[in-house]
């Protein structure tokens, strides 16, 4: 095996020549060297394989007896066409071309050059396709990375324009509920944008897009005069040497169209290019649909936020306007009841008591509405101080006993051996237990009983808790409805049927207050037997502050 490199050749092509006949081998090698090849010679299969591995040749020229060579390079087999045995020895796998033995020198050089050029062109085409695929992959990735419809259209027209070295690119969408109306254009640097009249009108564009979308195809035109399928004038671009129309769509209808315009030369589009363009157009349609949905949702959310703010402002205003006269009413009622100069009769006093109770109910209702108008409690309105839980329960029970007495209901507060101290907003904590006990009074029939008890315990993680239970033997709540009792404005069906007054806000506000204190609240109930509400509050001061 020998190798020679012609002098003066800067970047020679390498040829491996294999033939067991030394005379033919030397002849082929000399012909190729004279043509400017760097040549490696091999007399058998082993030498041939070694030469191929060592040189990565541009072309391999082998005798038919060695045609089984395994190589990436193109293979030219020299075969005696009149020798059946030699023809039978030719292995088709890996062979690119055959030449009759003995080959004329000029033909041998020509056939090897053709093979080398074919491989080079194929390699260049593959590299170009890969580069094209990568450029359009980046365009698709950019489209998926944004929810702005106008930005999606801008990325696509600019991406197509730069990738295909176009002069102009236009993207238009049609009137449709699935996508916004968009017109986006890109022009090569130094060119003025094409005027609107250069493009087909909306009707032609829509008809063209619908037809192409139904056919899953594209339309390449050479201007406005080139006929389309069926003999009708093609809706091309005025003054353009060529234009490509690509539809965008979803389902059975088109959504828009993309034009890629060349002004000075005809453009032939390969199947690979058209396939990639259609793929990006599909991603674009999907992106525009998604972005339109997201934009619509954001608009709805914004409108809901505006409505919610209007509701909050309205409730706050109404509460303010209601509280002002109510304060005066309550003050005058107190003055009338406490007057010693003009005492009222027992009958009048009883009527005034009813007015006072209903006025208090109205005040509580206003306070509940105010809490709702604030979207719950504001953390900044909480004033945390050490609070004795047992003392708070006693105060609540004392305040509500007159109401319970009128309902012929007994409130029993279990004594607390060690009154635990918790960090809480005392006013809000009183509101929690006032809501729970007053609820129990409302839903407990005459002769019923309400038990209020508390105890301390520690969880497995070492945290310490104070638990308060408010239990009644009232009408209870059905298992189907118990999961909804903390929902604002929700009222159980038996409460509605019994015309028991209420707004459905008390338990929702109670749960909000307990949650803001880092606690939890649970309800268990049996219809017709009674209800137990359990409130757990953290005893650890540092845990309460964290919550």
DSSP state, 297? H
pLDDT of residue 222: 66
Does 127 score more than 60 pLDDT? yes
Cβ proximity of 18 and 66 under 8 Å:
yes
Does 445 score more than 50 pLDDT? yes
Arithmetic mean of pLDDT, 10-39: 87
519: confidence class by pLDDT, cuts 50, 70, 90: very high
Average predicted confidence (pLDDT) for the chain: 82
Buried b / exposed e along 314-346 (16+ C-beta atoms within 10 A) = ebeeebeebeeeeeeebeebeebeeeeeeeeee
Separation CA 359–CA 33 (nearest Å): 115
Buried b / exposed e along 427-452 (16+ C-beta atoms within 10 A) = ebbbbbbbbbbbbbbbbbeeebbbbb
What the block records as the tokens of 469 is: 């239970």
Characterize the bridge pairing of strands 97-100 and 75-79.
Answer: parallel
Separation CA 60–CA 58 (nearest Å): 7
pLDDT of residue 533: 93
Q: Provide the edge-to-edge strand list for the sheet that holds 37-42.
A: 3-4, 37-42, 13-18, 59-63, 75-79, 97-100
Q: Would the pTM count as exceeding 0.85?
A: no
Maximum mean pLDDT: which of 4-8, 238-242, 250-254, 327-331: 250-254
Cβ proximity of 66 and 20 under 8 Å:
yes
126: confidence class by pLDDT, cuts 50, 70, 90: confident
- CA distance readout (Å), 415 to 440, 472, 544: 19, 18, 25
Arithmetic mean of pLDDT, 294-318: 80
- Domains in the chain (CATH in brackets) are 3-124 (3.40.50.2300), 130-285 (3.30.450.40), 379-546 (3.30.565.10)
Separation CA 547–CA 544 (nearest Å): 5
pLDDT of residue 378: 52
Give the count of beta carbons closer than 10 Å to the beta carbon of residue 50: 14
pLDDT of residue 481: 82
Helix (H) or strand (E) holding 461: none
Does 314 score more than 80 pLDDT? no
Instruction: Please count the CA atoms within 13 angstroms of the CA of 305 that sit on its side-chain side.
Output: 6
> Which of 92-99's residues contact partners 24+ apart within 8 Å by CB, and which partners?
93/68, 94/68, 94/69, 94/70, 95/67
The string of pLDDT tens digits covering residues 346-396 is 788 778 777 877 777 677 777 766 666 555 545 556 788 888 888 889 888
Query: What angle is formed at CA 198 by the lines to CA 197 and CA 204, rounded to 5 degrees?
Result: 80
pLDDT of residue 371: 64
Arithmetic mean of pLDDT, 408-416: 89
Give the count of beta carbons closer than 10 Å to the beta carbon of residue 222: 16
Does 236 score more than 70 pLDDT? no
Cβ proximity of 486 and 497 under 8 Å:
no
Cis omega (within 30 of 0) for bond into 336: no
Separation CA 131–CA 149 (nearest Å): 27
């Amino acid at each position: 095996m020998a190798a020679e490199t012609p002098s003066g050749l800067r970047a020679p092509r390498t040829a491996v020549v294999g033939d067991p006949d030394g005379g033919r081998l030397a002849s082929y090698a000399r012909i190729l060297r004279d043509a400017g090849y760097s040549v490696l010679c091999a007399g058998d299969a082993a030498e041939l394989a070694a030469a191929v591995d060592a040189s990565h040749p541009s072309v391999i020229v082998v005798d038919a007896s060695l045609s089984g060579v395994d190589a990436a390079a193109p293979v030219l087999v020299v075969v005696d066409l009149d020798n059946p045995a030699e023809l039978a020895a030719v292995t088709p796998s890996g062979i690119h071309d055959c030449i009759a033995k003995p080959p004329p020198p000029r033909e041998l050089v020509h056939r090897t050059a053709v093979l080398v050029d074919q491989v080079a062109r194929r390699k260049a085409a593959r590299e170009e396709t890969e580069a094209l695929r990568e450029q359009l992959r980046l365009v698709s990735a950019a489209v998926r990375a944004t929810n702005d419809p106008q930005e999606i259209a801008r990325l696509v027209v600019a991406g197509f324009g730069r990738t295909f070295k176009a002069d102009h690119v236009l993207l238009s969408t049609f009137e449709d509920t699935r996508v916004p109306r968009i017109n986006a254009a890109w022009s090569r640097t130094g060119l003025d944008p094409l005027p609107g009249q250069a493009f087909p009108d909306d009707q032609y564009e829509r008809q063209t897009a619908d037809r192409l979308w139904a056919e899953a195809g594209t339309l390449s035109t050479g201007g406005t005069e080139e006929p389309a399928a069926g003999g009708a004038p093609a809706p091309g671009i005025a003054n353009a040497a060529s234009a490509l129309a690509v539809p965008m769509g979803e389902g059975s209808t088109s959504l828009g169209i993309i034009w890629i315009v060349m002004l000075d030369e005809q453009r032939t589009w390969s199947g690979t290019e058209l396939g990639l363009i259609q793929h990006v157009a599909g991603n674009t349609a999907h992106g525009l649909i998604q972005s339109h949905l997201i934009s619509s949702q954001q608009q709805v959310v914004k409108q809901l936020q505006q409505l919610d703010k209007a509701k909050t402002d309205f409730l706050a205003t109404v509460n303010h306007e209601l509280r002002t006269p109510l304060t005066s009413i309550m003050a005058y009622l107190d003055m009338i009841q406490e007057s010693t100069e003009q005492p009222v009769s027992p009958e009048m006093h009883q009527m005034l008591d009813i007015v006072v109770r209903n006025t208090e109910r109205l005040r509580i209702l206003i306070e509940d509405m105010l809490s709702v108008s604030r979207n719950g409690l504001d953390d900044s309105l909480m004033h945390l101080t050490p609070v004795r839980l047992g003392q708070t329960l006693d105060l609540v029970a004392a305040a509500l006993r007159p109401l319970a007495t009128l309902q012929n209901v007994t409130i029993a507060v279990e004594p607390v051996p060690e009154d635990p101290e918790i960090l809480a907003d005392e006013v809000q904590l009183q509101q929690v237990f006032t809501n729970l006990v007053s609820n129990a009074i409302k839903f407990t029939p005459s002769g019923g009983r309400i038990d209020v008890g508390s105890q301390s315990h520690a969880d497995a993680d070492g945290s310490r808790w104070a638990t308060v239970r408010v239990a009644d033997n009232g009408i209870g709540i059905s298992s189907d409805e118990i999961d909804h009792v903390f929902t604002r404005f929700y009222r159980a069906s038996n409460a509605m049927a019994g015309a028991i007054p209420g707004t459905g806000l008390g338990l929702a506000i109670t749960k909000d207050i307990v949650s803001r204190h880092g606690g939890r609240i649970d309800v268990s109930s049996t219809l017709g037997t009674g209800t137990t509400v359990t409130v757990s509050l953290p005893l650890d001061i540092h845990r309460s502050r964290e919550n």
